[in-house]
Amino acid sequence: MHARVTGRFHSFGARGDQAARASRSPRGGGERRTNHSLNGSESMELPAGNHAGIDTSATSRAGVLGNAPLGEILVARGHLQAADLELALKKQDLYKDHRLLGEILVDLGMVTEGAVAEAIAEGCGIPFVRDLVRVADPAVVEILPRDFASQHRVLPLFLVRGVLTVAAAEPSNLHLFEEISRRTGHRVQVAAAAAGEVVSAIESWLPAANVFVIDEVQDDGDADLTVLERQVSELTDLAEIAGRGPVVRLVNRIVHDAVKDGASDIHVEPGDRSLRIRCRIDGLLHERLRPPHRMGPALTSRIKIMADLDISERRRPQDGDIHVMVEGRRVDLRVSTMPGRHGEKVVIRIIDSQGAIVSSERLGMNAELREEWASLLESPNGIVLVTGPTGSGKSTTLYSALGAMDADSRNLSTIEDPVEAVIPGVNQFQVNDRAEFNFSTALRSMLRQDPDVVMVGEIRDEQTAGIAAQAALTGHLVLSSLHTNDACGAPIRLSHLGVESFLVATVLRGVLAQRLVRRICPQCRHAVEVDPGHRRLVEEVASVESFQAGAGCQRCRGTGFSGRIGVFELLKPESTITDAIAAGVPHRELLETARRAGLQSMRHDGLRKVAEGVTTVEEVLAATAG
């Protein structure tokens, strides 16, 4: 028995193509001044059973608002204020934001992904689906390859009478559903779903072969430690110990808690008579656990097994990757082992690919800087650099830049080591030194792939620097990063890498230098008195009514800080700066020239954030010292 729900929806494949091509939806954000409606009149086939996750009421409301753009639907349904909608539309126009309106609204925190998806469903007259993991038919979800489903953010739900229903984050992509129909041989019906839920459901139903699911963590740590210590004393086969329940649960617990707390790194540190587990949170290391010392080899072996490393090799450093599912979302772990006097030290870098792409506003750029940065990214050619030390957020800024570009009309490609997040519509390539596929060889090959924009994770050597400069000269926009202390250090660094100073001056479009400072915890923030010298320092930059600090609470683990934000300086070469770069002047002279031309330092930006109550003077001074 099948439930039959009457409503209008996209239908593709045999008998459905003509209606599909005649229809348009408010594409995940809608065209700003164009009304879209769906003219199909098919009905939706549902399998028998519980349909609690499928809301077909949007199909009956389509006649009321079916011709309205997305923003109007959100306002009409009370999800959005008209003033907020106008603000988002202005942002889209002012900063030439190529993202869909729905993405901008979600990014600004004005609406939820679910509200956007539900409004799209209503505008199209298609069902809205939630709880995808529960709704989907296990026998159907694998009808599409995992890579295809992940790239296009679609999940097959069920197949009834030869009609395949898919949940889609972007139900306006007509060509995509025609391709699904071609691949599967079935007619395709489309339901709208929140993008984040589609991604999570794909990871749950179609995990990669080497993904470890650690959603369920039993908090019986002390008991596990006791059992594990006894096992270590009784067994000598580390592979056997590492595969036993207590070891597995303990490693799962460490990773789960670190991801939940927003840690960037996990350190497993053996000492003379101790074993310490620390996590780096908001830039600082915090001790989280002290298991018995003798458990070190078992924990290390478990991590090495998960990372597909050689557990018998303890004399040489090793590197590997682990892919885990934590509370429904995919997290990638980069593992590094290093032999030490008291055993192998392990560091695990946590890469949350789903949170890797954020807007320039969320990075911490003010309105003026966002506009200047956006204009740089519109350059048809040249080199744009992001600089700073390790851990200063350079990769996040580069991902943000790519995410703001129009991937439909431009060929965007990256060369990374490693690929830290999947960006829809971007061609991403990972270097492989063992296969002699390094940054320079990859960049040389990529230039034969007709790219418009190339993002090189880092310019490390003379070859890469030279090829990047030539690429910029021949009509490509190159984005990359360098390790320099400030923006003025970047052109000098390129010269040291063998690029002639006159060529640097010709191709360099801009340099963004950055650091990260901790945000004051919003839960325990309060007004405080500050040192008179610090007050004068801030008041030279901006007026300030009161200084803020965090008292320390459970949310911020007693630190007074929660999360981090960037402080920036942007060097945009104009005539005097270009002349100085071409002349190969030393750093101090270039810096003085840039300041006369209006360069504002990272410290200046940080002190403005102090005046706004975002961070503290101490944080800014520490981050911008030197």
Containing 340, the helix (H) or strand (E) segment is: strand 329-340
Per-residue pLDDT, 239: 56
Per-residue pLDDT, 375: 95
Domains annotated on the chain, with CATH? 2-205 (3.30.300.160), 212-353 (3.30.450.90), 356-513+569-599 (3.40.50.300)
Q: Name the amino acid, one letter, at 2.
A: H
298 Cβ partners below 8 Å, 6+ apart? 228, 231, 232, 238, 241, 242, 247
Q: What is the pLDDT of residues 139-181, one digit of tens each?
A: 888 888 888 888 888 999 989 888 999 999 888 888 888 999 9
Locus of tokens 């497993």 = 268
How far the first Cα of the chain sits from its last, in Å, is 73
Burial (CB count within 10 angstroms: exposed 0-12, middle 13-18, buried 19+), residue 87 = middle
Low-confidence ranges of the chain (pLDDT < 50): 1-10, 14-43, 50-51, 58-66, 225, 227-228, 231-236, 238
Per-residue pLDDT, 65: 39
Per-residue pLDDT, 130: 83
Can you spell out the DSSP letters for 399-452?
A: HHHHHTS-TTTS-EEEEESS--S--TT-EEEE-BGGGTB-HHHHHHHHTTS--S
Which one-letter DSSP state was computed for residue 72?
H
